[in-house]
């Protein structure tokens, strides 16, 4: 059997297996590694996003910062 053909088939099989394993196991790892755990409600700031503005409130409910989204 030709060594070049054997190496080519080996690379194709390993690459295909890696691709399929990534598709199957990817969603499991992406949720646990990329997304941080949910914060509890005792955070110091509350962020409210609207179609026009992004507002940040402190824990007493007073608005401390506002960003307009429209240019």
CA distance 56 to 3: 64
Ordered DSSP codes for 31-56: HHHTSPPPPPTT-SEEEEE-SSEEEE
pLDDT digits (tens, 9 = 90+) for 11-69: 999 999 999 998 888 877 766 555 555 555 556 788 888 888 889 898 888 899 898 88
Instruction: Evaluate whether 48 touches 65 at the Cβ level (below 8 Å).
Output: no
CA distance 56 to 36: 20
């Amino acid at each position: 059997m030709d060594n070049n053909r054997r190496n080519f088939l080996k690379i194709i099989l390993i690459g295909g297996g890696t691709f399929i394993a990534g598709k199957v196991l990817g969603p499991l790892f992406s949720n646990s590694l990329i997304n941080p755990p949910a914060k509890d409600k005792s955070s110091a700031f509350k962020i409210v996003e609207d179609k026009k503005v992004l507002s940040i409130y402190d824990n007493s409910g007073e608005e401390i910062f506002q960003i307009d989204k429209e240019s």
